[in-house]
Structure 1
Amino acid sequence: MEKFENIDEYIESLKAKLKKNPQCGNSHYNLGVAYLSRRDFMEAEREFLDAVAHSPRLAEGYVQLGGIAMQRGDLESCLSYNLQATQQRPFFSVPWGNIGFVQLQLGDTDKAHKSLKKALKLDPDFVQAQATMSSLHITTGDYEEADKLLKQILEKYPNFGPAWNNKSLIHASRQEWAEAAKCMAKAEENGFDVPAEFKKEVEANC
């Protein structure tokens, strides 16, 4: 296996491979991932588009394109790319989890619930889908179910920021402001960007 000193060297190696074989979907995909690691979203998107053009069954390519669309706030494109991923690999849990997340953002809780159930049936330990399901329970007011799920997540992944944020939301809904503040601090410690309005509400009530 080749070893590289840095990401730039790896990128140049992939470009050299693609000069010899421009139709290789896997090389385009790997180059897209390398660009993503540099946060070069435009180049990454170009490579993922080439990847799925040359290897239409490469479901991971559609998932990555969906992630880039999400990053720029384009929920409809994110949904479309992840649906394409499920058409290529119906038993791949990741796009189903992403679809559920987008459907929840769009306010379609029934569809989101079905998609997330599918994701978790395919992979019961898929933590992002579990966290999104807990968000769905919070959205529909089922705090007890959300709390159960969050306890499971945090027992296994104590540094998972989104779960701490959701715990904070549950405590706030019960007006347990000191606990809400603790969980919010944990969410931020673990890299979660707590919405400013919610942060102000918790701080005002502590």
Structure 2
Amino acid sequence: MEVDEQRVPEDEQDKDFPQLLPLVTPGERIGHVSAYRAGAGVYERRGHLYASKVGEKLIEQDDSNQLPVVSVETAGLSGSPSVPFTGATVLAQVTRISPRRVDCIILSVEGRPIRDTSNPYKGIIRLQDVRPFEIDQIDMLECFRPTDIVKAKVVSLGDSRSFHLSTAEQDLGVVFAKSTSGHPLVALKWNEMECSKTKEREPRKVAKPSD
């Protein structure tokens, strides 16, 4: 099936100071509205709070009697630079879609964000690496859309600073995406997501949600 190329245009914490917790990824459940208020980088769905970007979970309690705020912070992450390698699990953002491949920018490697975005590592998801069955029936636009965040595995080195990625395993695929109306999508099944606002459904190659 022909696909027109699409691309993206150019529990109780210390009350005196914020507490940084382990790294989270888009779509990961990080709390409940009964315990926290949603801050930056967080969205709510059916009472649960989810991360909308890669970063560190941050919990802050202000001077009011309201619930603490949970947010996702990307600034100030420490550690050595992250370089993709064969077998690594990465998060990547879709930048362009064509009939036989999806181009991405790699955002993190094994849970560690890539801080230098001036010369990003690029990922390529080829048609044969999307899923392990009915490859000849794959429509790339029913699997991914520009700006989607995808969890994938590095399968080989491509050209300079580019890597071939796979989403063939059940826990790989889209982990965060926005609907055509601009609201977060929520996974329903392996090939379908639902808009959190309008309830309209959209096709995707969905990563199996973590418990």
Between structure 1 and structure 2, the one with the greater Rg is 1
Verify same fold: TM over 0.5: no
Higher relative contact order (CA 8 A, sep 6+): 2
Q: Which range, TM-score by smaller chain? A: under 0.3
Name the one with the larger helix percent.
Answer: 1
**Structure 2 length as normaliser, TM-score?**
0.26
**Structure 1 length as normaliser, TM-score?**
0.26
Name the one with the larger strand percent.
Answer: 2
